[in-house]
Structure 1
């Protein structure tokens, strides 16, 4: 049975009339992740559901009051939280407001300010915010009111064997993106497909390995520069799992080879755009340490 999350919390993305998103800068006294930026929100109190917690936390932290029915639900996400070393889970909500910075009361942290879309990812964001903000600006509500195109979305999977080696794919000469380079098993999501479903599908299609969604843990989301191929910076969510497998158990159905690679050798490979961003961070992560166990 999959482990239960250590922390459950709700977050609210407040949009102003110009498409800016309200962010909170934590101060040096925050119990975890001081001096970083995220959305208003917080942990559920006894007897609360996620929506109740969102309404209460927004009022306490910003002075802005919304009703339960004024919150648009953008989904629930469970992920490996690096700050606590275990699973956390949040529900994300969206609310529209005519408020300006002057109307917001900073009830917690160093400051609360509305931030332009183009500047959101320039801040030192909380791990949760790096998952949440792409879903906000890609939501139908945001795109319908403020324009833009939804991001291209990719799912990647890293399997870790008993020695700590990572299952990686050497691409052949045919792909439009990063031919003849090494990267993660994974690929584009189908229309309306969520990241976790896409990760399970891509893993089976490329390697023959069948895992259930509960066997994969979300490591994080990355912005991957595909401007050479597509003219865009795209989204990739990366999932991981421990695997009692060897190279002989892998059916390479795409690319030149898919094999387990010693972590010390990863830095010597010619990596894809995604791999060069994801793999060094993954190898430093608490999730990798836990999976190699």
Structure 2
């Protein structure tokens, strides 16, 4: 029977920079895995155990910094799996019931779906079973983190009807086609989706095999490359896919509703404390 003793370590193991709210991404660390996880975690706990969502305010040294979500179970017990994320000087006040909108959240939709998948998989493992996984090789995806001379990064706003991570800001990229390697695919996708061509070498920055939550394949073999580019004149980006594409500073990027993949890749940069890409 599902209970908090079983659920707590499974949720904790499922957290990562790719399930973190991007506004907290610069503060996420493996030794503080609950940072930025409150919203998606409260939703997943609500999916599994029901009850109500509670919303409070976060203050740091008396200044309001944001909001915090946790749960009240049907028996009245309050459960806050991410309370340990807060630093000395940060306090949480209040705790009012809030109605849950139907379906996936408008912000951090991809993070919520990824965390829910990982928790479900963890619960199956705890029971000695496994989630069904389709046969066949993983889908191959290549993306590009393009950086301009000012250190701004190129982000793409995905279509609202995209099968994966709709309406979130991600990195330019797509499927590796037959006869291509990952780097070739990254260059082609960059040209097709933005009109930009980069002659500089691409450097492999990050790779992972991730669950395929959109197309139902056995997984996604994802590789992210990075490259520097020259100054991109205004109007040079020609959007061939998605709603928009633009260069933004890292400080601005983490304010956007980033896809889990973009968050995972950008976390590699943020944890280097300014080390050159």
TM-score for both structures, normalised by structure 2: 0.47
TM-score for both structures, normalised by structure 1: 0.44
Q: Which structure dedicates a bigger proportion of its chain to strand?
A: 1
Q: Which has the higher contact order (CA 8 A, sep 6+)?
A: 2
